[in-house]
Amino acid sequence: MKTFDPVQMAIPFFVLAVILEIVLARMGKANARYEAKDTAMSLSLGLGSSVAGAILGGAIFAATVWVWQHRIFTIPMTAVWAWVILFFAEDLTYYWFHRIAHERRVWWASHVNHHTSTHYNLSTALRQTWTGGVVGTWLLWLPLSFLGFPPAMVAIQKGISLIYQFWIHTEAIKRMPRWFEAVFNTPSHHRVHHARNPRYLDANYAGILIIWDRMFGTFIPETDDEPCRYGTVKNLASFNLLTNVFHEFIGIGKDVVRHPRHAPGYIFGPPGWSHDGSRDTSHTLKAKWRARLAREGEVALSPPEGARRSAEPAPPSKADSPVVS
């Protein structure tokens, strides 16, 4: 069964938009940083993702059709109300997929290549997973078909979401109008998501609507006081294609071999988890950042040395001193 794929149709637009951003940056008309090897890596990861999708897509779609055949309701694909409901339902599904992909290591291993670039431009959006079909990220969308949304309908909405997310991978747009920033995912919000600053870790998982992050407490605004630094907590520093795709899976394998008793934690725990607490997770990194801010705040709020001395009570004089026998 073949279905309409909006992402494949949008690929020429993606390429032209990347070229346009590069040209505008060279002319000084847009804030965009490109590096030849980094851009080539993004394009290669995008191409590989398309190939992986073609290989596994049929099996995944067949599984989705099987679930739909056992659906609870029959939702008509031609009904406007069905598309409206699906828009919100699919976007909420994407939020939880994206959040879990950052919070559970085996899914992070599949998603991490999207974050390995130390630059943030439109080509970064093309860094898509090769292994999502293998680790089962697609399973989260099956309840939509079980409820009665036709598989083709779900696939189209997923494609629309991915197309929307392309344009937010840019530094050329600083802020959208306030009302838009309040409701939709924007370049500003998504820059935070790609940042490795402790302030910004584990935030803004939105697909199209930022309302989910606001509802579930994962929204962090971009601040001009702290520009985003991009990449992963420990940057890969490699332009090897296979390393970018598989390095975290290799890391999981090594940890499991070294510590088989703790294998579940190394596979399904948060990225950075270790059985002895010797590594940092995003949670511990944020805690250390908050502690540092608190210490710096205490130093800033404490009075200068001279003022502190003047505020201290004078030592008692001999006349005031108690007599010690």
CB–CB of 45/127 below 8 Å?
yes
User: How far apart are the C-alpha atoms of 268 and 6, rounded to whole Å?
Assistant: 33
DSSP string, 217-243: T------TTS---BS-SS------HHH
Work out the angle at residue 162's Cα, subtended by the Cα atoms of residues 159 and 166, and round it to the nearest 5 degrees.
140
Which tens digits make up the pLDDT trace of 120-179?
999 999 999 999 999 999 999 999 999 999 999 999 999 999 999 999 999 999 999 999
Query: Is 157 in a helix, a strand, or coil?
Result: helix
From residue 243, how far is each of 77, 92, 219, 251 by CA, in Å? 42, 31, 31, 11
Q: Which residues of the chain have pLDDT under 70?
A: 1-3, 300-325
Structure tokens at 221: 């605004």
The chain-wide mean pLDDT, for the chain, equals 91
User: How far apart are the C-alpha atoms of 224 and 233, rounded to whole Å?
Assistant: 21
Query: Is 50 in a helix, a strand, or coil?
Result: helix
- What is the gyration radius of the CA atoms in the chain, in angstroms? 25
User: How far apart are the C-alpha atoms of 169 and 75, rounded to whole Å?
Assistant: 34
Query: Is 81 in a helix, a strand, or coil?
Result: helix
User: How far apart are the C-alpha atoms of 193 and 195, rounded to whole Å?
Assistant: 6
**In this predicted structure, what is the pLDDT of residue 9?**
86
The full length of the chain comes to 325
Closest CA to 193 of 176, 178, 210: 210
**In this predicted structure, what is the pLDDT of residue 3?**
60
Report helix, strand and coil shares of the chain as percent, to nearest 5: 60, 0, 35
DSSP string, 236-263: -----HHHHHHHHHHHHHHHHHH-GGGH
Cβ neighbours of 313 (radius 10 Å): 5
